[in-house]
Amino acid sequence: MDGDGETRASPVFLYRDNVAVERPPAVATSAGTSVGGALRGLVRTMRPRQWVKNLLVVAAPLAAGTLFQLDVLRSTALAFVLFCLVSSGVYLLNDAHDVAEDRRHPTKRLRPVAAGAVPVLLAAGAGVLLLAGALAGAFLLARPALAAVLGCYVAISLAYSYFLRDQPVIDLAVVASGFLLRGVAGGAAAGIALSQWFLLVAAFGALFMVAGKRYAELVALGEEAETRRSLRAYSASYLRFVWSLSAGVTCTAYGLWAFELREVQTGFSWQAVSIAPFVLALLRYAVDVDRGQAGTPEDIVLRDRVLLGLGLVWAVTVGLGVLTR
């Protein structure tokens, strides 16, 4: 979903009817692409930096207090690896499908497939192999429930890439479902039953991030937003409404979960304390959303030290709550 930065080369000029025309440096031909350059571009198209999102698979085992049991840890690690493979396969197929549209985008035109560094057929073939290998591995090595979750993720993601992205609101829900399914995968891999509060927090938290990403892209593109199918139906005010509503539901559901646990505990409720860093982290992230800088959620999280600190405090309080149940 991110735009990858590249060093720009000197402009290339073509002559048409004796008039010099500048060719955008990012849209190169693939004829001269070296094997090494294509392989490097293939790895970049797999978006390894975005694998951090797949760490959401640890959420359910962590909340249940079973993450560090050997069998649960092994199953969760396998779920993480399989999600990295299927998400990269989807990215490859998505970039192969969107090559013409990405070339009109100010940052996505620098992606290896759009720039011509990776041939379209190579990206599509690699994507199919990754998806097939990951799904086969899930059926052979993991619980059937995890294989089902991965299959749903692949089906929904490909449906989004090829036609659902043109449907207003539905496209937001589909992208948010990718985050939700990552959280569900952790429970499915370890055989953990998921509570209604966990599902609500994961679903609306994901919708908050997706609406913020769309809002940031709309602000960044300005008038050029009309060139992106996924943005044509939205206004900035509508997307602000969506992420505000989502944030409210997320905080409410998290608070209800924390206070529900407090009622069944006799000691100090660390889950109730965890509400504070959770809400503050959401508000801190919302600052970037409001500025239109939430186009790459994983980059924001990794570079904002205050946000990382709040996340650490939240993780510690939740961990203490699990240990003192």
Domain boundaries of the chain, sorted by first residue = 1-194, 195-325
Integer CA distances (angstroms), 143 to 60, 64, 129, 140, 186, in order? 16, 18, 21, 8, 11
Instruction: Using pLDDT thresholds of 50, 70 and 90, give the confidence band for residue 125.
Output: very high
Calculate the average pLDDT of the chain.
81
Q: Residue 20: helix, strand or coil by DSSP?
A: strand
Q: Quick one: pLDDT at residue 234?
A: 85
Take residue 172 and report the two structure tokens written for it.
């937001």
Q: 120 and 96 in contact (C-beta within 8 Å)?
A: yes
Q: Quick one: pLDDT at residue 305?
A: 85
* CA–CA dist 60, 202 (Å, integer): 10
Q: Read off the pLDDT of each residue in 85-94 and give the average, rounded to a whole number.
A: 93
Q: Quick one: pLDDT at residue 300?
A: 73
* CA–CA dist 226, 300 (Å, integer): 26
Q: What is the pLDDT of residues 229-271, one digit of tens each?
A: 667 778 888 988 998 999 999 999 999 888 876 655 666 788 8
* CA–CA dist 262, 260 (Å, integer): 5
Q: 148 and 188 in contact (C-beta within 8 Å)?
A: yes
* CA–CA dist 73, 81 (Å, integer): 12
Above 60 in pLDDT, residue 205?
yes
The secondary structure of residue 53, as a DSSP letter, is G
Q: Read off the pLDDT of each residue in 101-122 and give the average, rounded to a whole number.
A: 84
Instruction: Using pLDDT thresholds of 50, 70 and 90, give the confidence band for residue 88.
Output: very high
Instruction: Using pLDDT thresholds of 50, 70 and 90, give the confidence band for residue 214.
Output: confident
* CA–CA dist 80, 58 (Å, integer): 8
The CATH number given to 1-194 is: 1.10.357.140
Above 80 in pLDDT, residue 226?
no
* CA–CA dist 21, 279 (Å, integer): 52
Instruction: Using pLDDT thresholds of 50, 70 and 90, give the confidence band for residue 105.
Output: confident
Q: Read off the pLDDT of each residue in 57-82 and give the average, rounded to a whole number.
A: 89
Closest CA to 21 of 10, 12, 30: 12
Q: Per mean pLDDT, which range of 31-40, 71-80, 98-107, 314-323 is the poorest?
A: 31-40
Q: 192 and 186 in contact (C-beta within 8 Å)?
A: yes
